[in-house]
Amino acid sequence: FLIRVQKHPCLYRHLLYCQLFVWVVKEEVEEEEELRQMQADIWTFSHSVRQSMCTRKLQPLDLTGMVYGSQTLTGWARTNLDRHTIRCPMLNEPSAAFFALYDGHHKSMAVNHVHAKLLDCISQALKKGSEVRQAVSMGMTHCDNLYIQSPTVLTDDRFGSGSGAIVVMVQMGTLFTSNLGACRAVLCKGAEAEILSRDHVATDERES
């Protein structure tokens, strides 16, 4: 066979090309097999991680003994129309906490109503099984409706008072924020600050 190849250089070149082609095809097949194996390994790993996350029971964050503080200043106003509510823990649940600041306007009737009723309205929604964000939204709406439907609001508050609010809730290690008006929540960690809410003001084009 070697003698025949030497006598036929065209056949020799043809065999080299065939060998080169087989070698290239073999490399492509090996690369495809490696890619399929890598994809299978990635899927197996991610699937096992998802399974462990679904089956693992996370320990609830115990907020008992957490240090917190509050301060309010009258500023240039005649009277202080700011109010706040802090419940830590909230609803006898060690992993839940409630922080709220209410910014009253013009008179104190509306802010006093929100201060007295908002936490109860949100708590009622939570007790009925609502998710936190839905419970806060429902609680704020219900609190507002209670004030509007009050039989004495037209006589006692005929010139109109109002209140903004910022609510921060912690539940099972997750922090939720909700705000109405120009109240603002800021999360501070060391020298870094992160704004957690956006002001609702008439000058914001997104509000139009």
Mapped to the 3 state alphabet, what secondary structure does 85-101 carry?
A: EEECCECCECCEEEEEE
What CA–CA distance (Å, rounded) separates 63 from 36?
47
**184 and 167 in contact (C-beta within 8 Å)?**
no
Give the pLDDT mean for 7-33.
Answer: 54
State the helix-helix crossing angle for 109-127 and 132-148, rounded to 10 degrees: 140
What CA–CA distance (Å, rounded) separates 9 from 75?
101
**94 and 62 in contact (C-beta within 8 Å)?**
yes
Confidence (pLDDT) at 160:
75
pLDDT in tens, 40-73: 766 665 555 555 555 555 566 778 778 888 888 7
**101 and 120 in contact (C-beta within 8 Å)?**
no
Residue 9, pLDDT > 70, answer no
In the chain the beta strands, taken as DSSP E runs, fall at: 82-87, 96-105, 162-171, 174-180, 186-189, 192-195
Residue 20, pLDDT > 60, answer no
Cα 145 from chain centroid (whole Å): 27
**How would you classify the pairing of strands 96-105 and 186-189?**
unpaired
Give the pLDDT mean for 10-18.
Answer: 49
pLDDT in tens, 125-157: 999 988 999 999 999 999 999 988 887 776 777
pLDDT in tens, 80-124: 889 999 998 888 888 889 999 999 888 888 899 999 999 999 999
Tokens representing residue 54 in the block: 């679904």
What CA–CA distance (Å, rounded) separates 134 from 190?
32
Tokens representing residue 48 in the block: 């096992």
Share above pLDDT 90 across residues of the chain, in percent, rounded to a whole number: 22
pTM of full prediction above 0.75? no
**183 and 103 in contact (C-beta within 8 Å)?**
yes
Confidence (pLDDT) at 100:
93
Give the pLDDT mean for 180-184.
Answer: 85
